[in-house]
Structure 1
């Protein structure tokens, strides 16, 4: 029997609206808005979400985003597969999903979301939510996030698009890591992938610049998608079975 959980006051009702350009068949996506100032000390217990020690020691913002993300994940698992499960934090800091499930959790400034699907259909799911960078911050961080080739391409972009491009590149690489890490079990970083192409319609193409495995080697390309809503950008990379 599934647990019926009343959401804490710090979280808005679950939103199942698909925000990206192309639906992903066989997945469940849920999001919620959260307000750390409304978090109560007993919200974890009342929501039946055991807080790890690191979360118990953290500030209200971190506690609220963890709780909101895990609540989205549990509800998504219930809707997908009638599972009553809270993904734990693994030794590698990644969520621990049931063995037959792929999933991803993300949160940024009052907004949390989770997506889940069956591994038989989706080997890897990576999703990342980011606040749009200001132009000043984007120009300052570009050298840390973009490869030399990406920096060359950025030089051809109108200046008013630079903040979007740098935010998108950061987010897309985060999503790529989340999608591939459970498959290759090897860490890689910003310099190990590049955003080759993006469209204003929300489609992206990424290329690996490192050898992760026999299957996922230098030059391997993956596609993804993104959407901008207000001052936040959401990206998704999905690896099909």
Structure 2
């Protein structure tokens, strides 16, 4: 699996397949999933494995990555990170907090999203845009919209603690450019005013749509004006 570097030079990304048996864990980590089903154990272990590979590239020694109350990993001091997985692959991204305020990644199988789900994730503007696309592409683009919103949620949540819904975000995709723009329709926090827009990255990789959003210090923009 070729390496990923789509989030910029300040972000280290490690990724690979989720094997049929759990990868090694620290005892403290294993204790967190002792009652989990096998699938969850494999995903949890892969997330920690690839996160440690990414952290090693920052020079951070291997140590347990325990979940917090919200189940997200508690990263080492001075580090921000995000983990994403599907049933078959796992991606971990990390960076120094002095360079990156927050980040979020997501990975979804590159398969059409069922049409009955589109109204649940899309705003009227997004749904109108989807219907103007070639019919054979609409399900794939809906999947990309879903993934971009997931990455955005994971980026903003450590800063705001806000449980945003899909309609709270509006995404404009630019697949040829490998980019997307996300606009906050509802403010989760004073740092993300309604109307503020951020730019993320996307690519198709290993049979998946992979999206990521990197927030650099002081990069939250003011709301856009019409």
TM normalised by structure 2 equals 0.88
Asked whether the 8 Å contact 1:132–1:163 carries over to 2, the reply is: no
Of the three residues 34, 59, 63, the one matched with 1:85 is 63
- Which structure 2 residues correspond to residues 69-218 of structure 1 after superposition, within 5 A? 69-134=47-112, 137-218=113-194
Q: Does 1:56 align with 2:56?
A: no
Structure 1 residues 173-207: Cα deviation after superposition (integer angstroms, max 9, x where no partner): 11001111111222212111011242323111110
3-state DSSP class of the match of 2:8? Answer: coil
Alpha-carbon distance change, 227 to 52 in structure 1, aligned in 2, over 3 angstroms = farther
Structure 1 residues 100-146: Cα deviation after superposition (integer angstroms, max 9, x where no partner): 11100111121111010011111011000111233xx4312101111
Asked whether the 8 Å contact 1:90–1:96 carries over to 2, the reply is: yes
Aligned to 1:29: 13
RMSD: 1.9
Question: Deviation at 1:233?
Answer: 0.8
Asked whether the 8 Å contact 1:16–1:29 carries over to 2, the reply is: no
Q: Does 1:18 align with 2:8?
A: no
Q: 1:19 and 1:159 mapped to 2: Cα distance?
A: 31
Q: 1:183 and 1:50 mapped to 2: Cα distance?
A: 24
Asked whether the 8 Å contact 2:5–2:12 carries over to 1, the reply is: no
3-state DSSP class of the match of 2:29? Answer: coil
Of the three residues 179, 197, 204, the one matched with 1:221 is 197
Question: Deviation at 1:238?
Answer: 0.5
Q: 1:33 and 1:109 mapped to 2: Cα distance?
A: 9
Aligned to 2:44: 66
Aligned to 2:209: 233
Structure 1 residues 153-179: Cα deviation after superposition (integer angstroms, max 9, x where no partner): 111111111122111111101100111
Asked whether the 8 Å contact 1:32–1:113 carries over to 2, the reply is: yes
Matched pairs, number: 217
Asked whether the 8 Å contact 2:145–2:173 carries over to 1, the reply is: no
